[in-house]
Structure 1
Amino acid sequence: MRLFSGGPRIGLAPRLALQILLVVLTIVAVERASRMLVPIPDVIFMDREWLASTVADARSRLVDALPVAHAAEVGDLPASDLLTYGLTDRPPAEPEHEPAKIAGFKRTLAAALPPGTPIRVAARGLHGDVGRSFHTIAVVVTGIPARMVDVLQNDDEGTVIVSTGLEIAVGLGDGAWLTVGTRDDRSILMPLLRNLIPPVFGIAIILLISYRGSRVLLRPLQQLAVAAERLGRERSIVPIPEMTIPEYKAIADSFAEMQRRLKRFVDERTQMLAAISHDLNTPLTRLRLLAEELDDPRQRAQVQADIDEMKLMIRSSLAFARDDGQEAHVVVDLASLLISLCDTTSDAGQPAEYRGPDHATLPCRPVAIRRAFANLVDNGCKYGDRVVVELRDAPEAVEVAISDRGPGIPEAEVERAFAPFQRLESSRNPATGGTGLGLTIARDIVHGHGGDLTLANGAPSGLVVTVRLPKPSAAPGA
């Protein structure tokens, strides 16, 4: 299967064409091999004149022994390795359209019988594929040929009868009929194998080749899907394995170039925000020194409070601009992290309760994810008198719901709550309203892990923040 898994850089269309060609050639090879390994059905050659005279002789013997009582008289007929004899009162039905070959043979038979003798001839599988027959093949010809192929090639007059079951019935004159048929003592095992081997082996090989080829063709797409998922969770460039199919390689190259452009775009703006926030510290320091020289204590306190608020906003901006994408992903026990966070919050005098399993692991950036949940718990403590952190470990994702007993958020204000520097709390007190970056930073970190953060009002009051962090998919081919 190296044709599909490696080797030269063959395009997708040629690979599919070669796979189809390989399947067709395999089916033909299995068909030919089955015909060589499994013997064909037995063939009985009978001369037309000999068969007609044999039937006439058998009828004559029975008629001479009239009245015919039972089938015992059939046993007095000469034994034959080719034919079987029987008596019946129900001869084969007359066909609506009798083939010319059968009509010609009936004329030969009538010439050997007394005039007016009723004759019926039934030939099974006359026009079918006799090579797949479960029964002995009867061939009625004029003269015994040396080879079977000569029967078909030299049948210029269309008199050769090739049948999988020949039955002749002639009337005996007292309502009884003599039946003469070809002997068929062969087991059907070999014909059954001959008929079943090609389709069974053909289907098995088709499934095997199709499965192998499909895996090779789909593996690059699965690798691209995993890379796209990691790109949604990580800010670093995700490496893509080398691809040998030109069409897939073009997609992979375009995807890699897109990653580089996105990272450059984000890095430039992050560095710019960090530089602006850092440079603002110098003028703020000068302002604080000038504020110390104010004579009015109230004005001095107001100016210093404004400067402190601006510094808090700058520190929050630096945290927001920090390149968390450089932090490596490690497997973290998220349940233990949340339990520790709730204990720390409770020790600080703000009630926080954890509900959920004792352990729930997830690959993530531990410092960033702790900052996100700390911001959410801190927001809940500011606006509600009690915070409940509930974790649900599902097969596809980990969900964390953080609820409080505060006033909630109006539906129209939900999206605005995520905007940077937006404080829904009307006062400008940093102790209660913060800087307006807590939810923004939290959602940015959650989105960086490929997750989602939603807000909903609780019942009867309060706010429920739901964080959904998906678990990474299994690598293709694993």
Structure 2
Amino acid sequence: MTATAGDAVRPYRPRGGFLGIKRILPRTLFGRSLLIIVTPVVLAQAVATWIFYDRHWDSMSRRLAFGVAGDIAMVVELLEDDPTAEERERTLALAARTTDLIVTLETGKRLATETTRSRGMVAETLRQAMIERVRRPFTINTELVEDWYEIRVEIPAGVVSVMSPEKRLFSPTTYIFLLWMVGSALVLFAIAIIFMRNQIRPIRRLAIAADGFGKGRDVANFKLEGASEVRQAAAAFLVMRERIQRQISQRTEMLAGVSHDLRTPLTRMKLALDMLGENPEVEELKDDVAEMEAMIEGYLAFARGEGAEAVQPTDLTRLLNEVVNGARREGADVQLAAEEQLTLPLRPSATRRCLANLIANARRHADRIWVEASRMAGAIEITVDDDGPGIPERNREDVFKPFFRLDSSRNRATGGSGLGLTIARDVVRGHGGDITLSDSPHGGLRVRLRLPL
């Protein structure tokens, strides 16, 4: 199975949209689904709140303010009509007993020129009511005592000081309404999150299964679940997986059969050539037969790279040490620098074959080889550098094609069968990674492998 790094599941990245709206939208299906649910609720509550403030709260505030202003106007009128101090005291006592207002008369005083010290919409509404109902000079002070409003009105006899409690000017239904709106929205939001998580979970499992299959890993315990559309997509994935696995199995069996059929006539040709004796023509034919055997073995190795070897947790550091030590025993000058405990799911035999091919390819064309392995963001990166002649940039993609060789001759001493890099890339992509070529800082070729964790 061949899977490139581009086949891995990646988060969707919007390209931009009208006025850049797509840039601020959630990128996950879960976030967008919640947005679809929450947006109408928020808009409905915003409209309801606007109507409430525009109608109920405004009307209620005006009625309460005009009620207080009306009581003050009545007290002021009575005080102006009372000629004696006894009658004024009786009026003040009546006001305190029937209006919940604390009214005092400061005889002989006049209002100061200071401006009204009041703030808020309630004070502004009360000011409008005082202008319409009292129609006398007045001031409003909301900073004298907490939860109380001081209203001072000037009359010919002096200044009438009125202390009104805030409860006469403000209705708590505003807070009750807002708490009800916010509380119900939070409850609905929590319910929506629970239901959306249950609906998104099968889609996430399908994405994880597809990503794991693309990395050559076994997808265990995957079952159909979720909505009918999600089940349909999951069923299509299972059918696709079976078809790919069946195609790989058929190809491997076909190549094994071809190998068996070709080896028999090649063996007869080798026996016949041995009986002909030694001469230049016979040696050339022996080289051709050996070349054919090498090509068959290389092609079988290429097919085995996508075989049915199980993926298992593998210590990549240990595997690299084994491959490098094997190359050193064959006379290669290889230096290894790898982090400890680089463990990830791999096909050990296929990965060993991939690394061995890369080192053998570097050894064939260079004197020294440097191998490094380190953990990167979400992946492990392996680099194989050499001090050889390198590969021209125009040919760096061609060398991954099966049987492509920069050396066009058929001399096996100057090049292999042309499948080494092909097998290496096939193995790496079978694990969901990729392999690239570039210039090495040592003057030769750098092969970079990236294996996802």
Q: Same fold (TM over 0.5)?
A: yes
- How many residue pairs match? The answer is 383
2:335 alignment partner, one of 353, 360, 385: 353
Superposed CA deviations along residues 392-445 of structure 1, whole A, max 9, x for unmatched, are 112300000001111100111111111111122344222441111111111101
Select the residue among 312, 330, 337 that pairs with 2:294.
Answer: 312
More helix by share: 2
Post-superposition Cα deviations, 1:303-347, rounded to whole Å, max 9, x if no partner, equal 222212211211111121126442211111111111221122112
TM-score (norm 2): 0.70
- Return the alpha-carbon distance in structure 1 between the equivalents of residues 167 and 71 of structure 2: 22
- C-alpha distance in structure 1 between counterparts of 2:130 and 2:75, whole Å: 18
Deviation at 1:189, TM superposition (A): 13
1:85 aligns with 2:106: no
**Contact 1:399–1:466 (Cα < 8 Å) also in 2:** yes
The code of the aligned residue for 1:172 comes to I
Tell me if 1:400 matches 2:382: yes
Match of 2:227 among 242, 245, 255: 245
Counterpart check, 1:218 vs 2:177? no
Letter in 1 for 2:388: G
Q: How does 1:227-306 map to 2 (within 5 A)?
A: 227-234=209-216, 240-306=222-288
In structure 2, C-alpha distance between the alignment counterparts of 1:254 and 1:202, rounded to whole Å: 41
Amino acid at match of 2:267: T
CA displacement at 1:240 relative to structure 2: 3.4
Residue in 1 aligned with 2:155? 172
Q: How far did 1:254 drift?
A: 1.9
One of 400, 413, 423 as aligned partner of 1:441: 423
d(CA) in 2 for partners of 1:429 and 1:16?
66
- Provide closer, same or farther for how the CA distance between residues 335 and 217 of structure 1 changes in structure 2, counting only shifts above 3 A: same
**Is the 2:38–2:189 Cα contact (8 Å) retained in structure 1?**
no
Counterpart amino acid of 1:242?
A: L
Q: TM-score, normalised by structure 1?
A: 0.67
Gaps of 5+ in 2: 1-29, 50-59, 118-124, 141-145
Q: How does 1:15-26 map to 2 (within 5 A)?
A: none
For the Cα contact (< 8 Å) 1:235–1:448, is it kept in 2?
no
1:261-295 deviation per Cα after TM superposition (whole angstroms, max 9, x unaligned): 33333333333333223311011011111112224
Q: Relative CO higher for 1 or 2, CA cutoff 8 Å, sep ≥ 6?
A: 2
After superposition, residues 6-405 of structure 1 pair within 5 angstroms as 53-60=74-81, 64=84, 77-78=92-93, 79-80=96-97, 82-85=100-103, 88-89=111-112, 106=133, 118-119=135-136, 171-173=154-156, 176-180=158-162, 182-184=164-166, 194=176, 197-198=179-180, 200-234=182-216, 240-322=222-304, 324-405=306-387
Distance in 1 separating the partners of 2:390 and 2:368: 13
Change beyond 3 A, Cα 1:445–1:295 = same
Show the counterpart of 1:463: 445
CA radius of gyration, larger in = 1
Instruction: Specify whether residues 48 and 184 from structure 1 end up closer, same or farther in structure 2 by C-alpha distance, changes over 3 A only.
Output: closer
When the two chains are superposed, the root-mean-square deviation of aligned CA atoms in Å is: 4.5
SS state of the match for residue 326, structure 1?
Answer: coil
Equivalent position amino acid for 1:318 in 2: L
Counterpart amino acid of 1:285?
A: T
| Deviation, structure 1 residue 299 | 2.7
**Aligned partners of 1:408, 1:75: CA distance in 2, in Å?**
112
Question: Kindly tell me: are residues 308 and 103 of structure 1, through their superposed partners in 2, closer, same or farther at Cα, counting changes over 3 Å?
Answer: closer
Distance 1:296 1:370, change over 3 A: closer
CA shift in 2, pair 1:397/1:178, >3 Å? same
Instruction: Give CA-to-partner distance per residue, 1:81-137, whole Å, 9 cap, x none.
Output: 6113366446979xxxx99x969984xx7xxxxxxxx547999xxxxxxxxxx979x
**Is contact 1:331-1:362 (8 Å) kept?**
yes
Partner secondary structure for residue 374 of structure 2: strand
Q: Deviations over 1:199-256 (max 9, x none)?
A: 5534543442343233223222221221221121117677633212112112212222
